[in-house]
Structure 1
Amino acid sequence: MMPRVTIQDVANLAKVTKGTVSRVLSGKGQISKDKQEAVLAAVETLNYIPNRRARALATGRTAAVAVVMTEPMEHFFHDPTFSLILKGIYEGMDGTDYLPVLLHATAPAEEKKIADLASTGSFDALIHLSPWADHGLLASLATAKLPVVLCGFPVERSAYPEFSVVYSDDVLGAKLAASYCLSQGVKKPVVISGEEGNPAAEDRVKGYREVYAQLHEENRVLYGGWAEADGALAVAHLREQGIDFDCLLCGSDRIARGAINYLLSEGVKIPAGVKVIGFDDNDTATSSAPHITTVAQPMVEQGKRAFQVASEMVEGEVAGLHTLDVVLKERESA
């Protein structure tokens, strides 16, 4: 095995001191052009890879970004939303020195471990994929003097002005879906949303209601989970209760797929008998027939933007709100 190339090897070949090599690689200090070129040439010749720990000590940065998930682990693997955002984060980091550090916590003790890491400078920034599922981590991060980016809103939206937020406009997306239904002659819509209290679920219900006043009737809005099984259970409940509907406005594509499959099993034609509209535009929308008309959220772009904002905050940019556009994709289900 070849011995590891060290910073001293680079200094010897470039005929400079180790301190000069360190300053050239960190971009700090005034170094003559000749010495910079000599160091960079030596780095290339020796194929030198800086030790991350040593570079962290020299620059005060770790080149690591924590990516935090506080929903149950099964949501991470079953809900395409999280994997798409994570894909965008990885794509955003491509070509940079940054690496993601994935952290999962669903209990206060686990969140405290993350807060302790944040307070000791273990990473340069933190991207939170599920800030609405919180057991005190957000309050701890607010005092950690660490750049934090939230993908979506926490339940208390105005409580953390020091954090940046990158999100898709759920209210606008829901209004687009409901307005489309209105243009198609829908008179008796029902909403099947996600978990009650979840900011995305509540925003979508708000948007639907801005178009259809009858959705303020409690029996025309159902809350539950985000999965296919939840969609099927909701439709079964509606039919058992004798609630008449000609359109289902669903809080996710998975809910919509479950609702469609149940209706088809009952002999209901889609969209002739009931129109169904989803939300998200992930693979579930086109995985089987009929393809789902849905509100498309740019989840990969959200991940890319989240990393971009995090890296800019590391360089001194102030926190801000970054809203991504949504569009309605018309397909076969409505």
Structure 2
Amino acid sequence: MLHLRVIAPEDLRDDVLRVLQRHVGVAHLVIHPGAALDPEGDEIAADVARESANDVVKQLKDLDVQHRGAITLTALDTVLSTRAHRAEDEAEGDPADALVWDELITRTREESTLSVTFMTFLTLACLLAAIGAVTDSMVTVVGAMVLGPEFGPLAALSVALVQRRGDLARRATIALLIGFPVAMGITALLTLAGRAVGWLSFDTIGDIHDVDFIFQVGPVSFVVALLAGAAGMLSLMSSKSAALVGVFISVTTVPAAGFTAVAGILGHWDVAAQSAAQLAVNLVGVVLAGVLVLVLRPRGNVIPRSAQT
């Protein structure tokens, strides 16, 4: 379940209570009149079944609560309550299939911000991928795939396309369009340094076998990107972090970006072009899969029984 906390001005108190009281998926309704100081108003709390969250939040937004007060949602790991269990049973749909849009939008917005941390992780991941490629080390490449933060902006872009959120789309696009070139540029500079001191040469990547999947782009690459993108979006919707790690290992974005820079600096322009194509195929595949999952998701959880009567 989710814990809902509402701060609302006194004149909206009755309206907010009516919204919460008429939903079968709401339990443990509590009100503290005049408890909120900034903004001033009442604090109203309740536990809400995930299946009912979208409809509850939408009706609260229709009251303009988000502008005149506040709406917060917190996931509850353990709830020992017969009333809460009954609310979940009576709400339409299954909690595992319930998509709470505001929760997903907030999560993807946070993970798609172009920040120093994002840039650092992406650069380190590209460098690790480059090292793994030139040393033909699968372990190092997999480590780079896990480290890469690029799935956040890709998921945010999928959500933005489905929800038509221009602000979220701009945030995600900026992170990708600035993040990858900067990370690849730094990787290229360090590759030049390695070549200058004799650590790297044209023959360095001439005989690699274990990580040649990085630049072997084809239909299978697109299929893998689609499957990984679908799994990643499902993991975000259901908060399955373990599944998300598996997605990172499946997508050849960071390795392709790092190897594009290395191959180009060392003069393997055909390999660099193939790696760049691999990067593009994976980026498009992940975003497309995310959009399809959101569009084709189960919709039985949107309309609670209370809205049907």
Q: TM-score, normalised by structure 1?
A: 0.25
The structure in which a higher percent of residues are strand is: 1
**Structure with bigger RCO (C-alpha 8 Å, 6+ apart):** 2
Q: TM-score, normalised by structure 2?
A: 0.26
